């Protein structure tokens, strides 16, 4: 290994016994220090990655809490703007936009229905009255012991030639457009396994608000 003269600092080879510069014995030399190896870089800290993950997680949780809060507020407003009254079978729902009532005891007139009630028919389940700023709708159900054909003939006579009729094996649908804002649809069906074999009459009368 090459070295340095300890007296004058000159470079000495391994086979030299004396320093060529100052004559000092070559035994008193200072070995060349081994090349300093660069220190390995410290492992990259995972702290920054963890911070990013925590920040993203906090943002997601925060957005979720905000969405849940907005939905809860919407439900609260809807719940507090509606008022429901009734005993289960007869229900009335009042909202800022209008009123909806359902039940068998709804007392509809011919004016409400847009046509006459079939003579002798009794109210059935599924009747409803709805009033909104955009218009109104009355849906009434009646039952009669008379045959389907007899009921169909009654309403065809009431509606006249302006009515559209669609017949099937088990029922008929009659539609009358009284005006662009008003229509009446009567569905008549009969099945021995339903409604104790009685004929079912379903009348839907819709009236839209006139355009301003």
pLDDT of residue 173: 94
Least confident of 58-67, 168-177, 190-199: 58-67
pLDDT at 154 over 70: yes
DSSP of the chain, one letter per residue? --EEETTT--EE-TT-SB-TTT--BTTSEEEPPPPPPPPPPPPPPSHHHHHHHHHHHHHHHHHHHHHHHHHHHHHHHHHHH-EEEESSSSEEEEETTEEEEE-TT----HHHHTSPPPTT-EE-S--EEEEETTEEEEEEEEEESS-HHHHHHHHHHHHGGG-EEEE-SSEEEEEEEEETTEEEEEEEEE-TTSGGGPEEEEEEEEEEPPP-
The average pLDDT across 65-92 equals 58
Q: What is the pTM of this model?
A: 0.54
| pLDDT tens digit sequence for 109-139 | 899 999 999 999 998 887 888 878 888 888 8
| pLDDT tens digit sequence for 168-188 | 877 899 999 989 899 999 999
């Amino acid at each position: 290994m090459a070295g340095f003269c300890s007296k004058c600092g000159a470079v000495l080879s391994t086979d030299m016994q004396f320093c060529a510069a100052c004559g000092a014995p070559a035994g008193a030399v200072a070995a060349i220090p081994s090349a300093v190896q660069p220190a390995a870089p410290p492992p990259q800290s995972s702290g920054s990655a963890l911070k990013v993950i925590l920040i993203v997680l906090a943002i997601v949780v925060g957005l979720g809490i905000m969405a849940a809060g907005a939905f809860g507020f919407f439900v609260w407003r809807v719940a507090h703007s509606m008022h429901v009254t009734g005993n289960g079978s007869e229900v009335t729902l009042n909202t800022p936009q209008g009123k909806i009532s359902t039940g068998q005891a709804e007392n509809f007139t011919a004016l409400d229905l847009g046509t006459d009630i079939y003579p002798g028919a009794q109210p059935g389940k599924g009747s409803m009255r709805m009033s909104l700023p955009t218009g109104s709708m009355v849906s009434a159900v009646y039952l009669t012991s008379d045959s389907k054909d007899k009921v169909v003939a009654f309403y065809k006579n009431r509606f006249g030639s302006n009515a559209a009729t669609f017949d099937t094996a088990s029922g008929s649908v009659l539609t009358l457009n009284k005006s662009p804002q008003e229509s009446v649809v009567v569905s008549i069906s009969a099945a021995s396994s339903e409604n104790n074999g009685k004929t079912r009459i379903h009348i839907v009368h819709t009236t839209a608000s006139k355009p301003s």
